[in-house]
Chain A
Amino acid sequence: MGYSSVRGGMDAIEHAESLIAAQVTDSAHPVALPQVRDHVALLLDQVMGEGGVYDVDLGALAVKQAEGDPIEAGFLLRAYRTTLPRVGYSFPSSGRQMRILRRVSSAFRDIPGGQVLGRTRDYTQRLLDFALRDTPPQATAPSADLDALPAGAAPAEFPLVIDTLRTDGLMHEAPRRTSDEEPFDVTREPLRFPATRAARLQVLARGETGAMLSLAYAGMRGYGGAHGYIAELRYGDLPVLISHPITGGQVRIGWVPVTECYQVVGGDEGAKHEHDGSEDHVHEHDHSPDYVVSYGVVIGRNERKAISMSILDGSLKKATKSGAAIEDEEYVMYHIDSIEAMGFVEHLKLPHYVDFVASVQRTSKVRELVAAARRG
């Protein structure tokens, strides 16, 4: 075994790449993109969220090409997005404008509009269903007769549960208008610390589900952080709103499916959270033990990440820090990005021959010096 730098290996690399390409396509049952969309939807949602791009076709292609590796697929999306121009920014969409397909509260039993379980595994037994092995293909006909459904059959909107707390005077009133502060964009500017809350929320929304779950879990087990009660966990479609370039009016050009989590951290604990200090937030209860909201929102159906995001948002908002890692924005923001983390950890498997040669030479030299010293 020689410790020296080398060249070459291109033939081997090219063959290795061809093996990967074949793995994706060589099969009696090749995966079609609609199958990814229809049957691996949760993975697709996770990939689009961590890749920071909502496009079902691109996401499905990334999942297929990456053989189902969510971080690799997210990397493909992030790489692709750099080839496209940015056409602009949407108007901010609010959860109040969401079309709801699921909505539960663990803080209140009776909420305006009611609780809607929607599509959930929360109450199922985790048993393998062997009947699925032999499931015959199903026709993709819609389950409901579209023509028989009256327009407007779905509720127009569901009120936010946190408004109940506001009505009861247990939470700050909402500012009268949307903040006009230009949000920091982490896709355009390098992160700086202390980060704005807008930057934190953007990084959290693009964070890796497993990393965020791990940090949130550590916080709940006592390693710092803040968590409270889920006032509302909702899934549905959020409108994408642009300014019409001819009229200047607001236009909805489509919808993005999202999961939102509103977590309330309460009483004395909540009062210790930071506020922005603007006039909008001054009110008569400023010295009362208010509840505060920690927020999570993610692409698609990913409640694990939405809840984790709300826990991390609340932990980073704490004005009085305990010194725990999950209350340190630099620690959290730098370590939840899957692409950054994957690149840094996995680069260790690439050639470090020169580094290791230097290490071996250094070790040999030290050994020689120690041996010489022992000999006197």
Chain B
Amino acid sequence: MNREQRLEAMAAADAAAIVALADDVLETFEVEVTRGPSVGLLMVRVEEPADRLPFNFTEVTVAEAEVAAGVHRGYAMVMGKSMEHALAAAVLDAAVAAEHPLTGRIDEFLDAAVAGDERRWAARWAEVAPTRVQFEDVT
């Protein structure tokens, strides 16, 4: 899992669970908070399909944090206003970058977060899949 995939997984993870894991990591890992944690607005852009023209569609609330552990940095931005979620994710990002002893547990947690996200999406699709239309020709 590369750094981008890591952030995607952390953003999709349950906030309480990721905070609990970060607390465990911080027992043996010192970090300096270098950005935030703070809440702000991200302007989401959408591409109009015909002319491929980007435009500003809507703002979304985001929480953002960045930490440093020696030469290693950790960053996270998550949707919503949970600064705890963002800070915990930044801590885990730095921990993996620094090859912290709990890296294996973090990787397992993030794999599970990705799988959970996919299952939730599959469940939503399963609800609407029976509404796919099968047209019949009447002669």
Contacts and interface: CB of A to CB of B under 8 A. Distances in A.
Interface of A: 48-49, 52-55, 57-58, 81, 84-96, 99, 101-102, 109-110, 114-119, 142-144, 146-147, 149-155, 160, 162, 171-172, 174-175, 177-179, 181, 183-187, 197-199, 201-202, 205-206, 238, 240, 242, 244-247, 249-254, 256, 258, 262, 275-276, 280-281, 292-293, 295, 297, 299
A225 B60 CA distance: 32
B4 A251 contact: yes
Contact of B122 (A152, A175, A205, A295): A152
A89 B135 contact: no
Given A178-B52, A197-B53, A198-B56, A114 B41 contact: no
A90 B125 contact: no
B79 A240 contact: yes
B41 A253 contact: no
Nearest to A166: B50
Nearest to A58: B61
Given A151-B118, A185-B56, A53 B41 contact: yes
Contacts of B132: 114-117
B113 interface: no
B91 to A, nearest CB: 14
B17 interface: no
Contacts of B61: 53-55, 58, 84
B40 interface: yes
B4 A87 contact: no
Interface in B10-32: 11-12
Contacts of B55: 183, 197-199, 201-202, 205
Contact of A297 (B41, B57, B119): B57
A185 B38 CA distance: 23
A92 B43 contact: no
B57 A149 contact: no
B139 interface: no
A202 B57 contact: yes
A242 B55 CA distance: 15
A92 B58 contact: no
Contact of A93 (B46, B120, B131): B46
A238 B44 CA distance: 10
A227 B80 CA distance: 37
Contacts of B56: 89, 183-187, 198, 202
